[in-house]
Amino acid sequence: MSARTAWLDDTEMAGWRAFIETQVDLMGALEADLATHDLTLGDYQVLVYLSEVDGHALRMCDLADMLQLSPSGLTRRLDGLVRASWVERRGSEADRRVMMAVLTDAGRRHLVEAAPTHVDSVRRHIFDHLDRADVEALASIFGKIRAALDDRASTPA
């Protein structure tokens, strides 16, 4: 323990504890709602990322980076989506050494079916409890935290 440790004050501790004691239950509630579509939050994220890019396809290495997964972690994540015929693994036409994850038409339809459930879940579990100032504060807070994490990741050790 460093003599320079700046301990959390009461307000900071209350904020930290509220976050840490809420985030597992919140993610569980969001996951439970998506489970009605046979999707996890991670699966949903894959379908969303693929739906947002031209050609509905990403290089496996790029998708793994976006999801912050190892190559083997991405393989495991995609296995169920491939079995369900929502995603295909294909060799790249531009570079035969590259594997692509491709959103299928069935995957796109499934995402369209699941999206209202997910949005309703996010609204019910988060935004229905906040006023506009709270939402703006939430966006600002996590925007700053994301930027700091991105800065840290891009700074050489």
Give 44-94 pLDDT, tens digit per residue: 999 999 999 999 999 999 999 999 999 999 999 999 999 999 999 999 888
Establish if 25 belongs to a structural domain.
no
Decide if 45 is inside a domain: yes
Whether residue 43 contacts residue 77, with contact meaning beta carbons closer than 8 Å, is answered with: yes
Domain annotation covers residue 120: no
Say how far apart CA 10 and CA 68 lie, in whole Å. 33
Boundaries of domain holding 89: 38-114
Could you tell me if residue 136 is inside a domain?
A: no
Decide if pLDDT at 15 tops 80.
yes
Q: Would 137 be classed as within a structural domain? A: no
Q: Which of 11, 23, 7, 12 is nearest to 126 (CA)?
A: 23
Q: Give the Cα separation of 157 and 141 in Å (integer).
A: 26
Burial 33-59, CB ≥16 within 10 A → b, else e: bbeebebbebbbebbebbeeeeebbbe
pLDDT, tens digit, 9 for 90 and up, residues 111-131: 999 999 999 999 999 999 999
Report the pLDDT averaged over residues 27-38.
Answer: 97
CATH of the domain at 76: 1.10.10.10
Is 99 part of a structural domain of the chain? yes
Residue 9 resides in a domain: no
**Assigned domain for 92 exists:** yes
- Is the Cβ–Cβ distance between 80 and 101 less than 8 Å? no
Total domains in the chain come to 1
